[in-house]
């Protein structure tokens, strides 16, 4: 086993010349070449960049750390499109341990280290899996936020090497699990977006009911904070703090829909008031056109994602039905029949959500969209009742 570890470290050093740290961190345990420690690094969230909002993790062998969250982040639009289409390629890169801690500490993110006391069999299995990824091109994978990311890769490797230790049943503490509801992927998405109401709303309307299924503690370990707790329990590896970040160690609890309700209903109320103005036909037309365009745009984008994405988390979204692309008809002569039909359709959606038939949290969006629709229908009927002079 010692010889195998030496070969692995030699391979790591070859991939990253000069990355081995010159000095040993004062908080790390002593290392020997024959038995390099294996440990987990987990980093807290950084709300300033969307790809950092849920935290990060790295698996380290001796002075070298394997980072499975590497891709070309400079092309944001193209990367988002590839993620939606299930085509975003990520891979593993190697960094020096002290360099990695220094970088994340400089970014003011919390950093924790957990040394893993693995059995000889588990150690060999894990090092063998890592060695496969050291072959050029072999570490590439298709990114999926829930099932295959920088943290879930490490989770799966540790669980496989330790014969399923991380899959053993145990409960996660708050805020990963709450007494009043089952944990879901959606709840964890929302936790990462609590500071960005618009992205939070996009996640609610864009991610479908697959994200509302109850998940296990193992599933939740796609998050670095959950993995840190799971590793502590399964491997008796208490975390040691290396740095305290300004955004804290863990994401806050699920904020629900509250952060985006003010601006969602603010826009709906503004359009509704413009449509209902009694003596301003130009503003009424502007309000009706604005409402129709906004709702048709939401429905069109939702339909496009539904058609283009093969991923179940997007293909199960109902936003294209809840706020349909056909809402542009609200500004045409067809409004006389489309408007009332649209009100009935929206009310039916609300009833289905209230009855629990539809689980995706679209209720507030559907209700907000119905306000300008109701105003358009009311204004048209009011105009039709005015007798000709």
Q: What is the pLDDT of residue 95?
A: 95
DSSP structure class, residue 77: H
CB contact at 8 A, 360 and 209: yes
Domain assignment present for 16: yes
Range of the domain at 46: 2-169+216-243
Which residues have CB under 8 Å from 181's CB, separation 6+? 187
Residue pair 112/41 in contact by the 8 Å Cβ criterion = yes
Largest CA distance in the chain: 100
Domain boundary among 178, 208, 243: 243
Q: Walk across the sheet containing 56-61 and list its strands.
A: 141-142, 89-96, 64-70, 56-61, 38-43, 111-115, 240-243
Q: Sign of the CA dihedral 338, 344, 348, 350?
A: positive
pLDDT in tens, 20-41: 332 333 333 334 456 799 999 9
The token duo for 315 is: 């293909």
Is residue 202 domain-resident?
Answer: no
The whole-model pTM stands at 0.86
- Strands 38-43 and 56-61, by their bridges, are antiparallel
Q: Are 224 and 154 in contact (CB under 8 A)?
A: no
How confident is the prediction for the chain on average, in pLDDT?
Answer: 89
In this predicted structure, the answer to whether residue 93 has a pLDDT above a threshold of 50 is: yes
Q: Is the pLDDT of residue 138 over 50?
A: yes
Answer yes or no: are the C-beta atoms of 234 and 204 closer than 8 Å: no
pLDDT band of 205, cuts 50, 70, 90:
very high
Do 269 and 344 reside in the same domain of the chain? Answer: yes
Q: Which of 54, 68, 72 shows the shortest CA–CA distance to 110?
A: 54
Q: What per-residue confidence (pLDDT) applies to 382?
A: 77
DSSP per position, 97-157 = HHHHHHHHHHTT--EEEEE----HHHHHHHHHHHHHHTSTTTT-EE-BTTTBSHHHHHHHH
Work out the average pLDDT over 205-231. 96
- The reply to whether 262 and 123 lie within a common domain is no
Within a domain: 210: no
**pLDDT tens-place string over residues 150-200:** 999 999 999 999 999 999 988 888 888 887 788 999 999 999 999 999 999
Q: Where are the beta strands (DSSP E) in 184-288?
A: 240-243
Under the banding of pLDDT at 50, 70 and 90, the label for residue 385 is low
Domain final residue, candidates 208, 243, 278: 243
My answer on whether 159 and 280 are in the same domain is no
Q: Which of 294, 297, 276, 296 has its CA nearest to residue 285? A: 276
Q: Are residues 230 and 354 in the same domain?
A: no
Is 192:45 a contact under the CB 8 Å cutoff? yes
Q: Would residue 24 count as lying in a domain? A: yes
Task: Say if residue 236 is in the same domain as residue 311.
Answer: no
Whether residue 76 sits in one domain with residue 131 = yes
pLDDT (tens digit, 9 = 90+) per residue, 304-349? 999 989 999 999 999 999 999 999 999 999 999 999 999 999 999 9
3 state SS of 20 = coil
Are the CB atoms for 256 and 190 separated by under 8 Å? yes
One domain, residues 78 and 227:
yes
Residue 196 lies in a domain: no
Q: Rounded distance, CA 371 to CA 178, Å?
A: 34
**Considering the domain boundaries, does residue 388 fall inside one?**
no
Q: Does residue 231 lie in a domain region? A: yes
Q: How far apart are CA 89 and CA 82, in angstroms?
A: 8
pLDDT at 209 over 60: yes
Q: Is the pLDDT of residue 2 over 50?
A: no
Q: Among residues 196, 126, 373, which one has the least CA distance to residue 268?
A: 373
Q: Are residues 22 and 161 in the same domain?
A: yes
- Confidence label for 12 from pLDDT (cuts 50, 70 and 90): very low
Query: Quick one: 15 and 119 in the same domain?
Result: yes
Residues 78, 102 within the same domain = yes
Residue 165 shares a structural domain with residue 274: no
Q: What is the pLDDT of residue 273?
A: 95
Domain assignment of residue 104, yes or no = yes
Distance separating alpha carbons of residues 87 and 23, to the nearest angstrom = 40
Q: What is the per-residue pLDDT for 79?
A: 87
> How many distinct structural domains can be found in the chain?
2
Q: Judge if 304 and 280 occupy the same domain.
A: yes
Asked if 225 and 191 touch (Cβ cutoff 8 Å), the reply is no
């Amino acid at each position: 086993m010692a010889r195998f570890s030496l070969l692995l470290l030699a391979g790591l050093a070859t991939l990253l010349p000069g990355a081995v740290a010159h000095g040993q961190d004062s908080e790390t345990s002593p290392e020997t070449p024959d038995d390099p420690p294996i440990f987990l690094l987990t980093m807290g969230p950084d709300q300033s960049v969307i790809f950092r909002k849920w935290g990060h993790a790295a698996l380290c062998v001796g002075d070298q750390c394997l980072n499975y969250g590497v891709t070309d982040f400079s092309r944001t639009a193209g990367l988002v499109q590839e993620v939606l289409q299930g085509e975003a390629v990520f891979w593993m890169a190697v960094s020096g341990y002290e360099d990695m801690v220094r970088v994340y500490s400089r970014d003011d993110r919390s950093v924790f280290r957990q040394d893993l006391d693995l059995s000889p069999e588990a150690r060999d299995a894990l090092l063998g899996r890592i060695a496969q990824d050291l072959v050029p091109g072999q570490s590439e994978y298709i990114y999926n936020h829930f099932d295959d990311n920088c943290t879930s890769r490490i989770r799966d490797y540790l669980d496989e090497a330790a014969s399923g230790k991380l899959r053993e049943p145990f409960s996660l503490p708050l805020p990963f699990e709450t007494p009043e509801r089952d944990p879901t992927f959606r709840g964890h998405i929302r936790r990462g977006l609590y500071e960005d109401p618009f992205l939070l709303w996009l996640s609610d309307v864009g991610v479908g009911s697959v994200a509302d299924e109850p998940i296990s503690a193992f599933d939740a370990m796609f998050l670095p904070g959950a993995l840190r707790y799971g590793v502590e329990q399964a491997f008796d590896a208490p975390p040691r703090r290396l740095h305290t970040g300004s955004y804290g160690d863990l994401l806050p609890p699920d904020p629900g829909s509250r952060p985006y309700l003010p601006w969602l209903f603010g826009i709906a109320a503004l359009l509704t008031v413009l449509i209902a103005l009694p003596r301003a036909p130009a503003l009424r037309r502007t309000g009706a056109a604005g409402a129709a365009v906004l709702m048709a745009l939401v429905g069109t984008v939702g339909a496009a994602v539904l058609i283009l994405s093969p991923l179940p988390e997007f293909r199960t979204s109902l936003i294209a039905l809840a706020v349909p692309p056909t809402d542009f008809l609200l500004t045409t002569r067809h409004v006389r029949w489309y408007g009332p039909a649209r009100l009935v359709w929206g009310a039916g959606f609300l009833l289905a959500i209230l009855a629990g038939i539809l689980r995706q949290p679209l209720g507030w969006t559907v209700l907000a969209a119905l306000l300008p629709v109701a105003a358009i229908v009311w204004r048209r009927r009011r105009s039709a009742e005015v007798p000709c002079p």
